[in-house]
Structure 1
């Protein structure tokens, strides 16, 4: 009842403005009988001149343009296609150039093509008003026939900039040229959903047929997809239930809704929608997207165990999620430090013929490292290349961190050497942890390698590292490390400089004393 009242109020308001067909006593729309289009939902945002309107020609704008240097080079047409696109998109995206823009184009002698207009529009999404002017100005050079793709880009740009009145003017122009498509309305749905205007998106769907566009299941699902993408899943589901007789939900409908609940992280509503899907359309092996979204919602919502139970039920019905679910589940289990469960899902993934990505391998390796199962981590590290996945910085740093934490200096040194061979460096946490190790051989190797690259930890870690070197008769290494810091313009405290200097003198004194003693013994 409330929704119908709002629609009546909207219609009354638009009738007063003269934008919506008034209903005569016979119940027929007067404007429709005259062959006019019903107006779209009220935008409430000023859009400037219409797309098909005449070019502004105020003398004040021209005078201002005369006083301002032309931002377009005189040889604009001599530029390469890519350079011309870049120059024009930069100009359109500069708000200070909006006034007198058309005159600037005319004075430059700019020549355009359909391809040029399309590419400039693609690079100027934030410049709604300027794009509108450019589009109008370019039309005569193209015989007043922009391509359908350019028109769709214009609709999308105007909607993205919340210039909804101008957007609808463009839609009307497209209808006049007979080039409206479902893609056009999908853009309108998305722009309204992005602006959190669910009512306007739904009303747009309701007037599609008046614009000659089919109001079919595909368009219906486009609307739901736009709403769900921008966290308006509840509105999407309410409308789907309202239209259930005209548009019975299919596999795509349920997949869209479940993906919406996954985005919003609503486990309870995802379960309810999934149950409704099974009752209405049954188990369909082709409905992979729905299974992925539902299981992903459970895993991300901390209900991994329940997700695995549902996976077992699905597989018994010959319904399988795809690779994305397994990756999501393994990552979620890794975060929960459930190495055994993650390994089970990992093995199932391999048996189903899906090859894990490097990211999935990293999640599995992390789970093993946290559980202290270093041999299993090494096994995955050695075997991942055979499945087309290659170790990256995260892979090595995960293992290196686990070895440092377990004080396994020899194994950590081995992994570090492999990292160096593959040109990967420890991250900042691992660098600090390595330099503070009791094993000074490992600490020195890591410190010297990274100091040559100008990479240093925080001052506290540096102080501990240098002190450890000095106290363990490695004064030369300490001095070299500080010299590397100075060479890389890294800040060094006076206290540290003093300590290294004293240590170096002490080392020289010790060396001289040992040499003198050897000479005496020789004589």
Structure 2
């Protein structure tokens, strides 16, 4: 209820519900309640209003208001809905009123763009506050180094982790793999997969995807494909992200044949495309005016329930209208509406016009009736 009220910008009613809940049963208001409310406020209102809502919660339920439950929740919300800069500014303005813990620093350490700033924050955590970093802390700093292409620093930090008996995990190595890709060393990143096993940490799908991404960026699809085969042999199933790495390269090279082969292979392996996969494909089909392929993709979407109907239909219906495929466009539009998805106004008007020009007046009337469920204003 609070989420819906917040999404509808009915904040006065939202607070009315909270006050009523407190009066009837204060235990109904939990830290999770605060996260839901602050998330909506932060998404739709200013930073100042978000912080004001935080203090309003403190007055409402002071009993559970502590660092771990609430201050960290505020910072996490700001990181998700505002900017890391906003979150850090709020942290520095409020840190003396609360007792920051390791979780506080882990929330804020991610997302730094500058290695120097991240190191200074790390020093504040370890030297001034006396907190012992955990694997999440180290992974966040390693991520900053990798994005900054400071791979030597990243490797030194891994050595420091081991010296302090903090075991690098699969996220640590996956981050290193991604960093090596940024500096154009996909083969060295490939070796990291083997190195992981020596330390008793086995690669998962995201780790393989990071290594595959490096080869795809280097347009070495053969090497990337070998890694996919290796994944499968080890009992790991490629996911939509894996295939999208290939689709991106094939889309840039406008390779329709290999894209279609990959799509068929993807379905054959039991992996359903996501919206990104569908958009790579439907845009290529439109460029090549491949109506049969576009309709096959749509048929699979409707039958298997994957992808975004609204995004894909805009491109699909545009293609069908351009080629005056009135019957096919009408059929696709009706399937979409019957699934409960509203087409864009542009697509609807184009198809409606083509149907009228084809003297399909009865079908237009039927379409208008079906569209009425969306309260769409029909012209």
With the shorter chain as reference, the TM-score category is 0.5 to 0.7
- The CA deviation at 1:258 is 3.3
- Aligned counterpart, 1:221: 174
Please give the residue correspondences for 1:178-197 in structure 2 after superposition, counting only pairs within 5 Å.
178=132, 180-197=133-150
Asked whether 1:126 is paired with 2:78, we answer no
Once residues 365 and 124 of structure 1 are traced to their aligned partners in structure 2, the CA distance between those partners, rounded to angstroms, is 37
CA offsets, 1:305-340, max 9 Å, x none? Answer: 212223444555x34343333443123312332211
2:182 pairs, out of 227, 232, 235, with 232
Once residues 300 and 271 of structure 1 are traced to their aligned partners in structure 2, the CA distance between those partners, rounded to angstroms, is 17
Once residues 349 and 118 of structure 1 are traced to their aligned partners in structure 2, the CA distance between those partners, rounded to angstroms, is 38
| Structure 2, unpaired ranges of 5+ | 1-36, 53-64, 198-202
- The CA deviation at 1:285 is 6.8
Q: So what's the TM-score if we normalise by structure 1?
A: 0.48
- Aligned counterpart, 1:241: 190
- Aligned counterpart, 2:120: 166
- Aligned counterpart, 2:357: 408
Once residues 156 and 250 of structure 1 are traced to their aligned partners in structure 2, the CA distance between those partners, rounded to angstroms, is 22
Once residues 190 and 336 of structure 2 are traced to their aligned partners in structure 1, the CA distance between those partners, rounded to angstroms, is 47
Once residues 239 and 175 of structure 1 are traced to their aligned partners in structure 2, the CA distance between those partners, rounded to angstroms, is 37
CA contact (8 A) 1:261 1:297 kept: no
- The CA deviation at 1:373 is 0.5
- Shift in alpha-carbon separation, 1:334–1:285, aligned structure 2, 3 A: farther
Once residues 194 and 91 of structure 2 are traced to their aligned partners in structure 1, the CA distance between those partners, rounded to angstroms, is 41
- The CA deviation at 1:163 is 0.9
- The CA deviation at 1:347 is 2.6
- Aligned counterpart, 1:362: 314
Specify which structure has the higher proportion of helix. 2
- Shift in alpha-carbon separation, 1:242–1:283, aligned structure 2, 3 A: closer
Once residues 328 and 291 of structure 2 are traced to their aligned partners in structure 1, the CA distance between those partners, rounded to angstroms, is 10
- Aligned counterpart, 1:205: 158
Q: Which piece of structure 1 moves more, 180-189 or 196-205?
A: 196-205
- Aligned counterpart, 1:68: none
- Shift in alpha-carbon separation, 1:207–1:371, aligned structure 2, 3 A: farther
2:238 pairs, out of 287, 296, 316, with 287
- The CA deviation at 1:358 is 1.6
- The CA deviation at 1:287 is 1.9
Larger Cα-atom Rg: 1
- Shift in alpha-carbon separation, 1:153–1:346, aligned structure 2, 3 A: same
Q: Which piece of structure 1 moves more, 343-352 or 329-338?
A: 343-352
- Shift in alpha-carbon separation, 1:356–1:156, aligned structure 2, 3 A: closer
Q: So what's the TM-score if we normalise by structure 2?
A: 0.63
Asked whether 1:148 is paired with 2:114, we answer no
CA offsets, 1:40-74, max 9 Å, x none? Answer: xxxxxxxxxxxxxxxxxxxxxxxxxxxxxxxxxxx
Once residues 348 and 158 of structure 1 are traced to their aligned partners in structure 2, the CA distance between those partners, rounded to angstroms, is 42
Please give the residue correspondences for 1:413-452 in structure 2 after superposition, counting only pairs within 5 Å.
422-423=375-376
Once residues 174 and 398 of structure 1 are traced to their aligned partners in structure 2, the CA distance between those partners, rounded to angstroms, is 65
